[in-house]
């Protein structure tokens, strides 16, 4: 079907990553009259096998483009004449931002700036264009033992990752205030679920535990994150993208505050039961803390609930069991991530097109 025949043409950046691929699996099937174009340059975190099954969908396309490349982006916008963009592409791992911040600045700030400029030029003729910018609660910095982040919380980022996301949020805000772009921003808490690259806490612990490797816990392990199952996040994005008010920001969280050490112990307990092996918590190792490590994140999601009726559907208890099942059933996916084999998927699937 020609691009122009679709009701809407929606670009999704970072669609080969963890949240982007879950979002595409949700949106492509739910909105068959819309065209979804996945713009992703396939960094180490981009894995097209996360999107298996979508290649056959008539309303899905993939474009291997780096959002730092202005010309390639402009050509892609010219080709598809997008009506909207959901922007997830980013360098996303705090530990990597500490050892190598440059990519975070270039992609998260520079790439977002490129997209904003293209949208500004595209909309100069008065056409409407919705930009949904996906961000994190980490922009608000660290909480003490009490209180929650809300849409009114001050920006106090502490890592190069969160600082780069904060800068991109502010750029997006400024393009709404200055140029009138139709933007919405969501700040979400830590996600977990299928297709998360095994460098983040939950898939790393699952992968190491099943391989009998040490389970590194930073510092005293009492840092708190507010965990959200990824499909709950995707449903929130769907709602805000379609119904959010231009210029607004929405905080999204799971009401699931957990200490890191409790999560690691829970995964050990569940995996030990499943595998029928010696208790896996013997593998826990407390290691040197991450510099600038935020102590606690927690979201008050009452605004998105009252405005758009969104609430998480999965408790952590349910979500973590589903996640564990998924990783155990998809050990080949995990092994391909760790070995780098997943990169071949692009070559075999797309190289002849
Ligand atoms: P991810 O690291 O799994 O995926 C990022 C994707 O972006 C990859 O497919 C990668 O190839 C792509 N990408 C990176 N640099 C690019 C560039 N220069 N050009 C084109 N593509 C590029 O990340 P994720 O966990 O899915 O996070 C997605 C978004 O959600 C990010 O913006 C992140 O800040 C935000 N977020 C993540 C979480 C979380 O817990 N994972 C929570 C809140 C917000
Ligand atoms: P992570 O998944 O990297 O997400 P973020 O830093 O964006 O919150 O880490 C979640 C928490 O787990 C964080 O407090 C750091 C901690 N952590 C460990 O204790 N050990 C690990 O090996 C990793 C990757 C994280």
137 tagged catalytic:
yes
Q: Is the pLDDT of residue 345 over 80?
A: no
Cα gap 182→260, rounded to integer Å: 38
What local confidence, expressed as pLDDT, does residue 351 receive? 57
Mean pLDDT, the chain, whole residue set = 95
- Is 297 a residue of the active site? no
CB atoms within 10 A of CB 136: 23
H/E element, 182: strand 182-188
Taking only the tens place, the pLDDT of each residue in 242-259 is 999 999 999 999 999 999
Flag the least confident range among 207-211, 281-285, 291-295, 337-341: 337-341
Given ligand 1 and candidates 22, 37, 89, 258, which is best to mutate, with the most ligand atoms within 8 Å of its CB? 89
* 40 C-beta closer than 6 A to ligand 1: yes
Ligand 2 pocket mutation pick from 143, 225, 299 by most atoms within 8 angstroms of CB: 225
Tokens (6 digits) for 30: 């739910």
Antiparallel, parallel or unpaired: β 257-259 and 224-226: antiparallel
Catalytic (active site) residue 161? yes
User: How far is it between the farthest Cα atoms of the chain?
Assistant: 66
Strand partners, 178: none
Ligand nearest to the CA of 42: 1
Q: Determine which one of 138, 238, 294, 300 is catalytic.
A: 138
Atom of ligand 2 nearest to the CA of 159: 6
Phi, psi (5° rounding) for residue 286? -80, 125
Contact in structure between 254 and 231 (CB atoms under 8 Å): no
Enumerate the domain spans of the chain: 7-196+228-255+293-315
What share of the chain in percent tops pLDDT 70?
Answer: 97
Task: Kindly state the average pLDDT of the residues 313-334.
Answer: 96
185 close to 169: Cβ distance less than 8 angstroms: yes
d(CA 171, CA 137): 17
Candidate list 60, 80, 148, 161, residue with the active-site label: 161
Using the atom order of ligand 2, give the atom closest to the CA of residue 294.
14
Burial of 318 (0-12, 13-18, 19+ CB in 10 A): exposed
| Ligand 2 pocket check for 162: Cβ under 6 Å | no
Which CATH number is correct for 7-196+228-255+293-315, 3.40.50.300, 3.40.50.720, 3.90.1420.10, 2.40.160.20? 3.40.50.720
């Amino acid at each position: 079907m020609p691009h122009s025949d679709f009701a809407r043409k929606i670009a999704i950046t970072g669609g080969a990553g963890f949240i982007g691929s879950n979002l595409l699996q949700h949106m492509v099937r739910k909105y068959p009259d819309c065209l979804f174009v996945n713009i992703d340059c396939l960094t180490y975190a981009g894995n097209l096998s996360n999107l298996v099954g979508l290649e056959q969908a008539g309303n899905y396309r993939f474009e291997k483009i780096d959002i730092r490349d202005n010309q390639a982006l402009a050509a892609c916008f010219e080709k598809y004449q997008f009506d909207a963009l959901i922007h997830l592409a980013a360098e996303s791992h705090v530990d990597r931002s500490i050892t190598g911040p440059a990519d975070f600045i270039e992609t998260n700030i520079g790439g977002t700036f490129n997209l904003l400029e293209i949208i500004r030029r595209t909309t100069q003729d008065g056409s409407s264009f919705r930009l949904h910018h996906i961000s994190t609660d980490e922009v608000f910095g660290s909480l003490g033992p009490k209180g929650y982040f809300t849409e009114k919380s001050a920006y106090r980022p502490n890592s190069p990752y969160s600082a780069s996301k904060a800068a991109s949020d502010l750029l997006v805000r400024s393009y709404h205030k200055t140029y009138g772009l139709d933007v919405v921003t969501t700040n979400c808490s830590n996600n977990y679920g299928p297709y998360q690259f095994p460098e983040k806490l939950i898939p790393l612990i699952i992968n190491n535990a099943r391989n009998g490797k040490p389970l590194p816990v930073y510092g005293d392990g009492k840092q708190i994150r507010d965990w959200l199952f990824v499909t709950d996040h995707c449903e929130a994005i769907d709602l805000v993208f379609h119904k959010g008010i231009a210029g607004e920001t929405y905080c999204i969280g799971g009401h699931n505050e957990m200490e890191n050490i409790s999560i690691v112990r829970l995964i050990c307990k569940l995996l030990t039961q499943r595998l029928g092996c010696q208790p896996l918590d013997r593998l826990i190792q407390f290691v040197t803390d991450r510099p600038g490590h935020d102590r606690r994140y927690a979201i008050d999601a009452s605004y998105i609930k009252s405005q758009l009726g969104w609430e998480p559907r999965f408790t952590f208890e349910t979500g973590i069991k589903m996640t564990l099942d998924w990783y155990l059933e998809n050990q080949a996916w995990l092994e391909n991530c760790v070995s780098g084999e997943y990169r071949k998927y692009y070559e075999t699937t797309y190289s002849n097109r």
